[in-house]
Amino acid sequence: MSADVFVRPTRYEVTAWPGPVDGVNRSHYVLYVEWRGADRWCVTDGSYCYRRDGHATYEPNPSGRTDRFKAAYRFPIEEALEIAKRVAPKLRVGGGPNRKGMSAAEMWEWEQQR
């Protein structure tokens, strides 16, 4: 007896990283659009979710996700992809209290000079 097999895409990768996929710091500049059920998707970097305005907040465990949280951080797929494409070029990594950090393009250039 054979079981039914289902295939469904549940995660998209969105990044402004200009170089190859094996860049040392590339993973810091990747956002994911992940399925959360019932045509609801989130934009996440793995720990934080992003709202329409680009604000990020820690994503609680499923039992801690209130209806208010879901309303602010869950979207139809087309909207989630648009949000991720808008936020990805704005990601900055490596900033401290007095530094703005580097964009994906700046980090890639820095890697090339090393």
Is the per-residue pLDDT at 88 higher than 90? yes
Q: Which of 31, 27, 53, 26 shows the shortest CA–CA distance to 42? A: 31
Domain boundaries, the chain: 11-113
Q: Convert the pLDDT of each residue in 42-71 to its tens digit.
A: 999 999 999 999 999 999 999 999 999 999
Give the CB-side neighbour count of residue 30, counting CA atoms within 13 A.
15
Residue with tokens 């810091």: 28
Determine the pLDDT at residue 19: 86
Q: Helix or strand or coil: residue 77?
A: helix
Q: Convert the pLDDT of each residue in 12-34 to its tens digit.
A: 999 999 988 888 899 999 999 99
Q: Which of 9, 65, 53 shows the shortest CA–CA distance to 32? A: 9
Is the per-residue pLDDT at 99 higher than 80? no
Is the per-residue pLDDT at 81 higher than 80? yes
Amino acid at 20: P
C-alpha to C-alpha distance for 69 and 112, rounded to whole angstroms = 40
